[in-house]
Amino acid sequence: MQSITMVRGDPQPKPTVRWSVDGVESLLALPMNDLLRTAHETHRAHHDPNAVQLSTLLSIKTGGCPEDCGYCPQAARYHTNVVSEDLLPLDAVVTAAAAARAAGASRFCIGAAWRGPRDRDLEPVLAMVREVKALGLETCATLGMLKAGQAERLRDAGLDYYNHNLDTSPEFYGEVITTRDYRDRLDTLDRVRAAGMHVCCGGIVGMGESRRGRAGLIAQLANLDPYPESVPINSLVQVEGTPLHAQFGGVTAIDPIEFVRTIAAARITMPRAMVRLSAGRRELGDAAQVLCYFAGANSVFYGDKLLTTGNPDFDADRDLFERLGINAGIHAGLE
C-alpha cells in the first residue's frame, strides 16, 4: 500500500509517492473491516469524526447543454423530462442562498449547463457570486470549461471554489463522453489553481466501469498537485432517456458496499480533503450512508434537489444526523 507523508501546518499536502492505479485497486480489494479501519483512522487523524459540512447546489441555467455526457439529463440531444430554462434572475439566486444558509448550509454552489461560459454569460454569474458571498457563505460554481482569464474574474468576484469533475478514469472516459477530452478537464483545473482558487473535483461511479476503473479515478484525483480540497463522489442516478439508463441498454446500479469502498479509498488517498457524498445519496439509503460517514465522508449536498435529480430532503437528513450524533453544518479540522 502506498502512503502519503503529511507535514503539519501545510494547508494542502502533496504526496511524496504518487498513487498508482494498482495501489488504489489494492486498497479497494482489502477485507471490508480492514479498509474501514484504515479509512476511519485516517479520517479521525485529520478531521472531526462527528462533523459534516453542508453545501447546497442550485441550477442557475438548466438544460440545453451541447455535450454528450452519457449520464446527463441536461444534454440537449437526449429526450428526458428536463426542460431547458434561461438563466435565473439574481434575486431568485439570492433568495435561494439565504434559505440555504438558514437551513444550515455553509457553502452555496451554483451550476449552469454550459460547455463553458461565454464572457457575456459570465457577467450575471459574477453578480451572483458577489451577492452570495455577501451573505457570509462560501461560494462555489460549476460552469463547464473555463477560458483564459475567466478564473481570475470569478476569483475577483469572491468565488472560493470552482467545481470541475474528472467524472471517471482516463481509460474509461471515452465510453461516457466524446465531446470534450480529459485534457480539457485538466486544463480547466490548472486555470483554477493558477488563479488561486480552491478546487472541487471528483467523479461518478456506477457508470459501468470496473473496480479498476474506480481505482483509476481515485488515483487521478489523488495525484493532482495538490489534490482537491473538495472531492464529490457521485453514485450514478439513472435518468430515463440517457444512454446509461438500464432501460436503454445502460448499466447496473453499483453495489452500495462497493460505493462505500470508493469513499474509503478517497479518504485514505486524500486525507485532508472534504469528501462529499453527492448525487445518488437518496438511492443509497441510510445504512450505506452511515458506513460512508465512518469511512471518511464529511460533506454532503443538502436540499431536496441536485441540479435536476432528487436528493434526501432537509428533514430526512436532520433526522439521520441526529440519530448518528453528527454535528451537521460545521466542519472542525484537527490540524
- Over the stretch 21-58, which tens digit does the pLDDT of each residue have? 999 999 999 999 999 999 999 999 999 999 999 999 99
Q: Is the pLDDT score of 190 beyond 70?
A: yes
Buried b (16+ CB within 10 A) or exposed e, 248-282: eebbebbebeebbbbbbbbbbbbbbbbbbbbbbbb
**Given this model, what pLDDT does residue 311 score?**
55
Q: Is the pLDDT score of 256 beyond 50?
A: yes
Three cell numbers, residue 89: 434572475
In this predicted model, what pLDDT tens digit does every residue of 192-221 receive, in sequence order?
999 999 999 999 999 999 999 999 999 999
**Given this model, what pLDDT does residue 245 score?**
81
Decide: 67 and 177 in contact? Cβ < 8 Å.
Answer: yes
Average pLDDT over residues 79-96: 88
- Please give the domain boundaries of the chain with CATH numbers for all domains: 36-322 (3.20.20.70)
Three cell numbers, residue 264: 474509503
Assign 304 a pLDDT band (cuts: 50, 70, 90): low
In this predicted model, what pLDDT tens digit does every residue of 130-187 receive, in sequence order?
999 999 999 999 999 999 999 999 999 999 999 999 999 999 999 999 999 999 999 9
The partner residues of 109 in beta bridges, in order of sequence, read 57, 140
DSSP track, 167-221? BS-TTTGGGT--SS-HHHHHHHHHHHHHTTPEEE--EEE-SS--HHHHHHHHHHH
Q: Give the up-direction half-sphere exposure of residue 136: CA atoms within 13 A in the CB hemisphere.
A: 7
- In the block, cell 471554489 appears at 161
**Given this model, what pLDDT does residue 264 score?**
98
Q: How far apart are CA 129 and CA 126, in angstroms?
A: 5
Decide: 63 and 114 in contact? Cβ < 8 Å.
Answer: no
**Given this model, what pLDDT does residue 4 score?**
37
Q: Which residues are catalytic?
A: 65, 69, 72, 109, 140, 200, 276
Three cell numbers, residue 109: 454552489
Decide: 89 and 117 in contact? Cβ < 8 Å.
Answer: no
Q: How far apart are CA 275 and CA 67, in angstroms?
A: 27
Decide: 269 and 39 in contact? Cβ < 8 Å.
Answer: no
The partner residues of 310 in beta bridges, in order of sequence, read 305
Helices vs. strands in the chain: H and E counts, helices first: 10, 12
Type of residue numbered 18: R
Three cell numbers, residue 127: 453578480
**Phi/psi at 115 (nearest 5 deg)?**
-65, -35
Looking at every residue in the chain, the average pLDDT score rounds to 88
Q: How far apart are CA 206 and CA 175, in angstroms?
A: 13
Q: Is the pLDDT score of 113 beyond 90?
A: no
Q: How far apart are CA 299 and CA 332, in angstroms?
A: 12
* Residue 165 DSSP symbol: -
- In the block, cell 428526458 appears at 80
Decide: 204 and 234 in contact? Cβ < 8 Å.
Answer: yes
Q: Among 191-195, 256-260, 306-310, 325-329, which stretch is predicted with the lowest mean pLDDT?
A: 306-310
Q: How far apart are CA 88 and CA 234, in angstroms?
A: 25
**Given this model, what pLDDT does residue 247 score?**
58
* Closest by CA position to 334, among listed 33, 21, 45, 22: 45
Three cell numbers, residue 329: 453544518
Type of residue numbered 27: L
Decide: 333 and 43 in contact? Cβ < 8 Å.
Answer: no
Q: Residue 259 contacts by C-beta under 8 Å, 6 or more apart in sequence?
A: 205, 206, 233, 235, 280, 284, 288, 292
Task: Using CA atoms of 116, 222, 193, 134 in order, give the dihedral in degrees to the nearest 10.
Answer: 80
Query: What pTM does this model have?
Result: 0.89
